[in-house]
Amino acid sequence: MNLLHPARPFLRPEMRNNSEPELYRHIYPYTKVSRIEFDGYYLPPRPADPMFITDTTFRDGQQARPPYTARQIVDIFTMLHRLGGKSGLIRDSEFFMYSEKDRRAIELCRELDFKFPRITGWIRANVDDLKIAKSMEFDEVGLLTSVSDYHIYMKLGLDREKALNNYLAVVEKALEWGISPRCHFEDITRADIYGFCLPFALKLMELSKQSGLPVKIRLCDTMGYGVPFPGASMPRSVARLVHTFTDEAGVPGQWLEWHGHNDFHKTLVNGVTAWINGCSGVNGTLLGFGERTGNTPIEALVIDYISLTGNDDAADTTVITEIAEYFESELNYRIPDNYPFPDETSTQLQPAFTPTA
């Protein structure tokens, strides 16, 4: 078993517009189980200060279940505030803004006038979508900016240079309109870090400096390929990714988020690994709802945050049980009997939800 490679050579961030996509077939052989490589490059932990949670229950979380009604969104948003919003532990919550229901839910949540979670938007990286965010007076919006060649070449039908120019044009327009962009580096764990991601991040930091507005980056482990193991190599090493963006691209830890998926049972440990290596924000959903296998469960992040910091007052953990009861009674979702945390005090489970046509 080949677990150790020579220490990595020094690499310089340089935009490489390959004629063919880099698919890393030695790591992702397509017809076989993906490989985890080690290069013997170890990094000491460097915990983020501060650590906080960002929420995507109403965006990614709705891609795995029937959409919430506006009233349900208000109810859940209020429970998020009670769980960790009073202290600011749950810092932000992102919303779709395309449908009339989405816009109504945003309006109702704004009327609650909570300081935290802050309400932020999510759009595709195009100016037409950005106009919606501007019309709704958002001061921060997430932009879908795919970074792997799987997405750039094979999904979007572009090359790296065209994708980069498209993304930067939207970022520049957002900054011109006074909107702080949060670029979602989609599929980061299958991307060329030095040949695309870091040059992109460096340009974003330049634009931030010129505008005086923060430009945030969300590291999106879209397929759940990230690993927490010391000495693992990029692009799969969570620790290496975080250190590389903070140290080599100059992204402040408070402007960096980790967004994980649970395809390989690592979403929680990867999120905590991001925290203890300098990434302030970890993005998650209540009960781990999310595309395919789900996202990092917010209730689990709350417990790990308290365990890491000793700050018992940062969250009201009794709300976790209320959230579980709400999902069971209001949404007819059956929480598995062995699911950690939420169901320990629940006495009755509802029938499993069955989608209807």
Q: Check pLDDT > 50 for residue 350.
A: no
Q: What's the chain look like in SS3?
A: CCCCCCCCCCCCCCCCCCCCCCCCCCCCCCCCCCCCCECCCCCCCCCCCCCEEEECCCCHHHHCCCCCCHHHHHHHHHHHHHHHHCCCCEEEEEECCCCHHHHHHHHHHHHCCCCCCEEEEEEECCHHHHHHHHHCCCCEEEEEEECCHHHHCCCCCCCHHHHHHHHHHHHHHHHHCCCEEEEEEECHHHCCHHHHHHHHHHHHHHHHHHHCCCCEEEEEECCCCCECCCCECCCCEHHHHHHHHHHHCCCCHHHEEEEEECCCCCHHHHHHHHHCCCCCEEEEEHHHCCCCCCEEEHHHHHHHHHHHHCCHHHCCCHHHHHHHHHHHHCCCCCCCCCCCCHHHHCCCCCCCCCCCC
**Residue 11: per-residue pLDDT:** 79
**Residue 191: per-residue pLDDT:** 98
Q: Check pLDDT > 70 for residue 345.
A: no
**Residue 40: per-residue pLDDT:** 85
Q: Check pLDDT > 70 for residue 2.
A: no
Note the pLDDT tens digit of each residue in 60-98: 999 988 999 999 999 999 999 999 999 999 999 999 999
**Residue 351: per-residue pLDDT:** 39
- CATH of segment(s) 52-316: 3.20.20.70
Note the pLDDT tens digit of each residue in 160-184: 999 999 999 999 999 999 999 999 9
